[in-house]
Amino acid sequence: MSKDKTLRIFCFGDSLTAGYSSYGAVYHPYSIALTKLLAVYLSDTQIVATDNGMPGDVVSQGAFAQRFDSEMSQAQYDWAIILGGTNDLAFNVPPDRIFDSLRGVYDSAIAKGSKVLALTVPECATKSEKLDARRRQLNNAILTHQSPNYHAFDLNPRIPFHALTDRECKRYWDDGLHLTPAGYDWMGTHIAEALRDVVELERNPQSKRARRARRNAEEQISFDEEDGDPHSLSEGYVVVRMRDLN
């Protein structure tokens, strides 16, 4: 069956975007599950996803943004899904500095005509009050940032480590920082659901799912008084929390 529309997606980030597993012997990016599920959810749309993940990359150094701009200059994407900051947190880079660098990448994508779905940084096996606090600060900045065509998805609670049973950890987590192939499919499933809801809200604003997504967004965020129509995705942003949409 021919597809009426095409959705071009750029998945960008570090090892979690690359699908790094088994100490680099296996790569299974979340874009695999993302593409398969979106093709089902958006059956009239051809899904084309490109992933560019660099293991070990840090957001706060210029190479992250340079790599992003290089890829974006070669193709036009409808959406850029951006995840970064895990390695910066490990190197004790201050959260505000990490976010400033992320924001530059978000702005670059939007300036090139793409919408952004920013992902929060997932937890890992390491338990540290200082690390957890810095991760919360960074993720809060990602979730509360406002910009036209900017959307944020709270991935962190959707792929937990410490709340899982030992059996679940073995299935989804590889080394306490990276995921197994099944874990990356798990990750991609949640991201696909989030993107589906935002696209549905954009394409069919009166559908049941779109109304529910919009209601959730209006409860979670505050738009600037009457500067724009909160029902127009081009005028605001949406924080997608799947626990409220399911």
**Residues with Cβ within 8 Å of residue 95, at least 6 apart in sequence:** 89, 134, 135, 137, 138, 141
Question: How would you classify the pairing of strands 26-27 and 45-53?
Answer: unpaired
Which CATH number covers residue 240? Answer: 3.40.50.1110
Which residue has better confidence, 234 or 203?
203
The sign of the CA dihedral 147, 7, 108, 245 is: positive
| Domain count across the chain | 1
What was the pLDDT predicted at 212? Answer: 64
Residue numbers of the domain that contains 15: 5-245
Return the SS3 of 170. helix
pLDDT tens sequence across 96-117: 999 999 999 999 999 999 999 9
- pTM across the whole model: 0.86
Interatomic CA distance for residues 14 and 92, integer angstroms: 17
